[in-house]
């Protein structure tokens, strides 16, 4: 078996873990899959595949949390409005920025986010309505360029005092909207390819097994400990991926 084949199987193994974590937390699939997958695939191949997978993941989460959606929707309108132009900008960046540049930027953005999550940082936004548009723009751009939005969204929603059900519903609504907008934007830019669709299909078994497994596991664990442990694991993946990328670019030896 070649190194490429071994790498692809390793990515699918990470995707299974990521899907289980997503099932338990309501987010985490991309933020955990991406650091490992970028060692094997380019962003232009990986991002469209993950967006297709997350359309299904986020749609499933939206259905599961539909009863709480009306309670959080008013707080999300400005955040979503800001995400619309953000997704357009992020999609354009994916199309024009070099593969190595995108990979490096992804790791550099992800690392502080997962570290803050693992440390359980809480810094409430005092003027939520005023901050919603720029925060939504930034998260939308980040998602379209890197498929990463779970960690920053979790920081925002955890900091604003949402209950567990409201947190999950808010994540489901925003992430379903952003993944739908990103899919449309990618389609318009011609980012989707047969290879990216095939890669998305390869993730389906991991998602189908991991999602219910994660929901089952969380019933027997303390949620905050589970979340911090998952983000600490993610941080290790990011540090490893960043070091490998810096070596491949000749920036470190």
Count of CA atoms in the C-beta half-sphere (13 A) of 44: 14
pTM for this predicted structure: 0.86
Q: Give the residue extent of every domain in the chain.
A: 3-248
Q: Please tell me whether residue 241 adopts helix, strand or coil conformation.
A: helix
Write down the pLDDT at residue 219.
67
Output the tens digit of pLDDT for each of the chain's 253 residues: 554 567 788 888 889 988 888 887 777 888 888 888 888 888 899 999 999 999 998 998 899 899 999 999 998 999 999 999 999 999 999 988 887 888 888 888 888 877 777 776 666 666 777 888 999 999 999 999 988 888 788 878 877 777 888 988 998 999 999 999 999 999 999 999 999 999 999 999 999 998 888 878 766 666 676 677 777 777 787 888 888 778 777 776 6
Q: What is the C-alpha to C-alpha distance for residues 33 and 37, in angstroms, rounded to an integer?
A: 6
Q: What is the C-alpha to C-alpha distance for residues 53 and 207, in angstroms, rounded to an integer?
A: 8
In angstroms, how far is CA 187 from the centroid of its own chain? 19
- Residue 136 has a CB neighbour count (10 Å cut-off) of 25
Write down the pLDDT at residue 76.
92
């Amino acid at each position: 078996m070649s190194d490429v084949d071994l790498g692809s199987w390793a990515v699918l193994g990470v995707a299974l873990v990521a899907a289980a974590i997503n099932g338990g937390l309501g987010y985490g699939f991309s933020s955990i899959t991406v650091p490992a997958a970028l060692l094997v695939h380019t962003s232009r191949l990986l991002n469209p595949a993950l967006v297709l997978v997350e359309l299904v993941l986020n749609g499933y989460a939206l259905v599961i949390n539909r009863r709480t959606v009306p309670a959080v929707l008013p707080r999300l309108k400005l955040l979503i409005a800001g995400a619309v132009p953000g997704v357009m900008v992020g999609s354009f960046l994916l199309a024009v920025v070099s593969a190595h540049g995108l990979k490096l930027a992804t790791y550099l953005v992800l690392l502080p986010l997962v570290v803050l999550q693992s440390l359980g940082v809480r810094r409430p936004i005092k003027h939520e309505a005023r901050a919603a548009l720029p925060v939504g723009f930034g998260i939308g751009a980040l998602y379209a360029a890197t498929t990463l939005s779970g960690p920053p969204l979790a920081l925002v929603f955890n900091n604003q005092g949402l209950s567990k059900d409201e947190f999950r519903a808010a994540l489901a609504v925003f992430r379903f909207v952003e993944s739908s907008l990103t899919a449309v934007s990618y389609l318009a830019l011609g980012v989707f390819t047969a290879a990216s669709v095939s890669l998305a299909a390869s993730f389906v078994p991991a998602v189908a097994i991991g999602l219910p497994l994660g929901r089952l596991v969380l019933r027997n664990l303390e949620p905050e400990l589970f979340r911090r442990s998952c983000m600490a694991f993610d941080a290790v993946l990011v540090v490893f991926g960043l070091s490998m990328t810096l070596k491949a670019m000749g920036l470190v030896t």
